[in-house]
Structure 1
Amino acid sequence: MLTPDWRVAFEAVPRHLFLPEVMWPSTEEGHTAVSMIHDPDGWWHWANADVPIVTQWDDGHHTGLDHGAMATSSSSMPTAVFSMFAELLVFEGAKVLEIGTGTGWCAALLAARLGEENVVSVEIDGEVADAARKALAAAGWHPEIITGDGLFGAPERAPYDRVLVTAGVREVPRAWIDQTRPGGVLVMPWGTHYTGQNPLVRLVVNDDGSAGGRFSSAARFMHLRSQRDRRVTRTDYVPGDVWPEGTRRSFTGLPATEVMDDSGYAVFDFVAGLLVPGCVHAHGRTRSGTRTMWLYGLSDPSWAAVFFDGEYPSESRVFQGGPRDLWDEIEAAHRWWTERGRPRHEEFGLTVTVDGRQEVWFREPSVLLPRSEVRAG
């Protein structure tokens, strides 16, 4: 919901001024190119829609109208931007560091709300940064745009009152906290390797240099380039057409609906990532229509495959290999979650300690999760 203190800024900075001639809105059918020249009505429809819009594929190496392999820059959906600004809780004259300039729209909104002299934005991609500068200048805004790796922040303009991160984060860089005043706030989408989900977290910097706070709404953002997942495939773990020697076989009664969700925003996906670290998952169907789920270890060759029996759920087949029993860990995480009443994102929080450890907690900072140190796999 758009709060009154941001309404003037949003009215002064329309999103369409920062969208390219060709863009790829996120629709139910996937990503289809929309061209201002060839389909102006469609372009305007999507420019005004509450959807994320991809503006770059494959780090700029993609050409043509078909979508690329990986979306690497975008314009966030307006409601997601509203949510982040609501968590940021800016005040008049607040000095803000933005990580991930993208199209420049958020930098312009911050400039309209706080004054362009109080806004610094860092973008790692030179072409994206140049396009943002041009769009900002054309719209009449001139916040400072720095081309560089946002992991290092912008120390020359520190300290900041607020830090807004518009890319998915798995490990919070120490530099962001060090460049924020005590009492200052960092808002970012934070998640694990298990899923592409990144719930928003609001961290408040303490006098001792630590920072902590609660998660809020679920979200999905492109990740910082240095924190992207290593791509894995089934053949990396199970190279042949038969189960490897030593495969462990069992059955499970956990229904597919409890552990697989096509929306990408399910609470259990978030919880599973917290309790089963260093693991990614994928799901789909066999040629015969059987729902399947695969789990892969990121730091070892562990894997698991589950074939869910829709007619007899207790007879769903499980195959596991490697040093970890990944499916058993998922079942244990599900038990932990259900025994505590299926808590939602808002009941979890994150603390970044002075020495950089990330501790995830449940309801209170003193109640750490069984596997609370979440590190990159």
Structure 2
Amino acid sequence: MTNHQLPLEQAAMRGLLQTVSDGHDLAPEWIKAATAAPRHSFLPDHIWIDLDGTYRALERRADISAWLAAAYADEPVVTQVNDGVEPGDPSKAWPSSSSSAPSVVFRMLEALDLRPGMRVLEIGTGTGWTSALLSHRLGDANVTTIEVDRGLADRARAALGTAGFAPEVVCGDGALGWGVRAPYDRIVSTCSVRRVPLAWIEQTKPGGVILTPWDNPWICWGLLRLTVGDDETAVGRFSADSSFMLMRTQRDDVDLLRDVVRDDHEAEVSETVLPRRSVVHAEAAFAIGHRIGDIWHAWQDNPAEGVADRLWIASADRSSWAAVDHDGGDEDVFTVRQYGLRRLWDEIEAAHQWWIANGRPGPDRFGLTVTSEGHQAWLDTPAHSWPLN
């Protein structure tokens, strides 16, 4: 394959590969794939840069140096906002598609443990870069990729063709898989899920692997690797890598003050000494989210006189909520208000105590068993399981 890159682009690619390989030797086959399918070739001219939480459009023609720096940084690049309907006010922009950080992409590809002749289904084509890497490794005929957004699918197909690759690019709902070319040896998702679609298990060969980023209403964090059994049961563990956008068909449009909290709700008032921020970050948050499952949170600054900030908590069914207030002082005692059939802060405190009692486990000690009857979460072994709410 002939590659007509500018010297600047070649140097940028070499620098990226060196960064990705720092402390972790990237396999030669992936170095060859990245060289044959340079990342910048799959990015649109119009991308979005995160500036302290606000996304700003960046045009390649306007600033080629900044565009290339984004293309060859080991960071995700936002390639679409607001499902393709760009807002007039940039502060209203939220990412809806991106090119994932290269180090994460290569970790996922290595976790697939690919071998010649394997057939792969990719969920979420995006820019098409991962599809190109897979095609270089396995051959076009063994790679199928599905994208729910037709505009993204068409653009990725064109970029792949220009770069000399021709995997099958399908526009459709990735949650349904693509049964036309099943069964697959591997299914890899580039969007996170809150439930593993049964179609993925049904379309994977016994002994095959499903690899997907994980999302929980409490925290979007974790990578799940499942092995499919002869009985269409999938079992596997998590790792801490990855935080990806949620699959579009699993989104839930809920607004706290619109859908959950009402003026006439009379909440039960108590106090807590458990630091609120300790339950929403990293390993503790992963454990709490995995243990409880169906709760989510939001922060509100200066919600009332004398309250510096408030942690809101709500159940997924919108029937219960809790609020934990901080007055801004040095006192490590927080006011708690709870409403509904459930006492959500009490559940969080119990889950936090469970996490500490079990040695503060990280994601790699958690696992999941998926069957047609549902999802069973577990710690260390499937014998220690509970239903995932």
Q: TM-score w.r.t. structure 2 length?
A: 0.88
Unaligned runs of 5+ in 1: none
> Residues 270-312 of structure 1, C-alpha deviation per residue, up to 9 Å, x if partnerless?
1121222221101243276724210011214211000135512
2:331 to 312, 325, 328: 312
Question: What root-mean-square deviation, in Å, do the aligned CA atoms of Structure 1 and Structure 2 show?
Answer: 1.8
Unaligned runs of 5+ in 2: 1-23
Kindly indicate whether residue 129 of structure 2 is the aligned counterpart of residue 105 of structure 1.
yes
Which residue does 1:253 correspond to in 2? 273
C-alpha contact (below 8 Å) 1:300/1:322 kept by paired residues: no
Go from structure 1 to structure 2 and tell me whether the alpha carbon gap of 1:172 and 1:190 turns closer, same or farther (over 3 Å shift). Answer: same
- How far apart are the structure 2 equivalents of 1:295 and 1:65? 29
Which residue does 1:81 correspond to in 2? 105
2:222 to 199, 203, 206: 199
Shift, 1:202, TM fit: 0.6
- How far apart are the structure 2 equivalents of 1:83 and 1:337? 27
1:329 to 347, 362, 374: 347
Give the number of equivalent residue pairs: 362
- How far apart are the structure 1 equivalents of 2:84 and 2:244? 18
Q: Which is further off, 30-39 or 202-211?
A: 30-39
Kindly indicate whether residue 139 of structure 2 is the aligned counterpart of residue 120 of structure 1.
no
Shift, 1:257, TM fit: 3.7
Structure 1 segments, 4+ long, off by >3 Å, are 25-30, 67-70
Kindly indicate whether residue 233 of structure 2 is the aligned counterpart of residue 210 of structure 1.
yes
C-alpha contact (below 8 Å) 2:292/2:388 kept by paired residues: no
Which residue does 1:94 correspond to in 2? 118
**AA matched with 1:297:** S
Which residue does 1:25 correspond to in 2? 49
2:314 to 296, 299, 309: 296
Which residue does 1:222 correspond to in 2? 245
Go from structure 1 to structure 2 and tell me whether the alpha carbon gap of 1:23 and 1:67 turns closer, same or farther (over 3 Å shift). Answer: farther
- How far apart are the structure 1 equivalents of 2:223 and 2:180? 27
Q: TM-score w.r.t. structure 1 length?
A: 0.91
1:164 to 188, 193, 200: 188
Which residue does 2:10 correspond to in 1? none
2:387 to 348, 367, 373: 373
Which residue does 2:59 correspond to in 1? 35
Three-state SS of the structure 1 residue aligned to 2:78 is strand
2:175 to 151, 155, 165: 151
C-alpha contact (below 8 Å) 1:186/1:202 kept by paired residues: yes
C-alpha contact (below 8 Å) 1:57/1:68 kept by paired residues: no
Three-state SS of the structure 1 residue aligned to 2:270 is strand
1:237 to 238, 260, 263: 260
**AA matched with 1:331:** E
1:176 to 200, 222, 235: 200
Which residue does 1:133 correspond to in 2? 157
Shift, 1:250, TM fit: 0.2
Which residue does 2:287 correspond to in 1? 271
- How far apart are the structure 1 equivalents of 2:239 and 2:192? 14
Shift, 1:27, TM fit: 5.1
> Residues 113-154 of structure 1, C-alpha deviation per residue, up to 9 Å, x if partnerless?
111111000011111100001110111111110111111111
1:58 to 82, 92, 117: 82
Three-state SS of the structure 2 residue aligned to 1:290 is strand
Larger RCO (CA within 8 A; separation ≥ 6) = 1
- How far apart are the structure 2 equivalents of 1:142 and 1:245? 58
- How far apart are the structure 2 equivalents of 1:64 and 1:82? 35
Shift, 1:92, TM fit: 1.1
- How far apart are the structure 2 equivalents of 1:168 and 1:245? 34
> Residues 145-195 of structure 1, C-alpha deviation per residue, up to 9 Å, x if partnerless?
011111111111111111011111111111111111111001001222222
C-alpha contact (below 8 Å) 2:122/2:189 kept by paired residues: yes
Equivalent pairs: percent with the same residue?
Answer: 43
